[in-house]
Amino acid sequence: MRKLALPLLALLAAPAFAAEPIFAAPAQTQAQLILPTPPQADSAVTKAELAELHRLQSARTSADEAQAKADDSEESLFIYKTVLGEKFNPAALPLTTAFGKRVKNDEGINANPAKDAFKRIRPYNLDKTLQPVCKTKTKDDSYPSGHATAGYLAALTLIEMVPEQRDAILARADAYARNRLVCGVHYPSDIAASKLLAYTTHAVMNTNPQYQAELVAARAELRHQLGLE
């Protein structure tokens, strides 16, 4: 544990959120190049996606709405508490919490330029008959979904820390992303773009020595807390 003392202190002292990339820069992920151009508002694809959102709207239960709203309010690593259990909580995991916030910082740093470039209208602003149950915006920034990108990026990070739970973590990531559709605030193609961007961002992060050093420290803390040493 003494060998980890300096990296641990550095991680705790590092800012959780920054105005600049920490592990992966937009110039490396090149979101605007790797993501397909979103379907046009009047395209057959968008019409089919709106039909799917109406189908989900008609089928969603009060429990579905409650879970979608809960997921709407949370974008941290701890959406995976349902997988890792009660021991997986911020109070017990200061290093993991700080590391997760820094990963989340880079999600926004990489997703937001793409949102601004593609300027896709939100589905409920295009089709006024949709009834979203989560927070809405007037800004045209539907593509990709920030929540879904954050969820998949957090999942990939956690899998490196707790590989034993890989399948369950990925299943939760898919459910979390799908809840953006249940909310009625994104199109299915927004979610597909988010997954691609998250995997790309994670691959870039893995080439960063700083990410690797912080991952080692957070992984040790988390595995100790979960009794997986």
Rounded to whole angstroms, how far apart are CA atoms 168 and 161? 14
Q: Which residues of the chain have pLDDT under 70?
A: 1-18
- Number of Cβ within 10 Å of residue 69's Cβ equals 15
pLDDT at 1: 42
Report the percentage of the chain scoring pLDDT > 70.
92
What residue spans define the domains of the chain? Answer: 62-225
pLDDT, mean over the chain? 95
| Helices first, then strands: H and E counts in the chain | 12, 0
Region 62-225: CATH code: 1.20.144.10
pLDDT at 19: 77
Stated pTM of the model: 0.93
CA distances from 123 to 8, 34, 61 (A): 44, 23, 20
Determine whether 178 is exposed, middle or buried from the number of CB atoms within 10 Å of its CB (0-12, 13-18, 19+): middle
Rounded to whole angstroms, how far apart are CA atoms 105 and 54? 33
Contact 88, 226 (CB under 8 A): yes
Rounded to whole angstroms, how far apart are CA atoms 217 and 202? 18
Comparing C-alpha atoms, which of 193, 177, 192, 189 is closest to residue 43?
A: 189
Length of the chain: 229
Give me the DSSP letters along 19-74: SS-SS--HHHH-HHHHSPPPPPTTSHHHHHHHHHHHHHHHH--HHHHHHHHHHHT-
Comparing C-alpha atoms, which of 194, 167, 168 is closest to residue 179?
A: 194
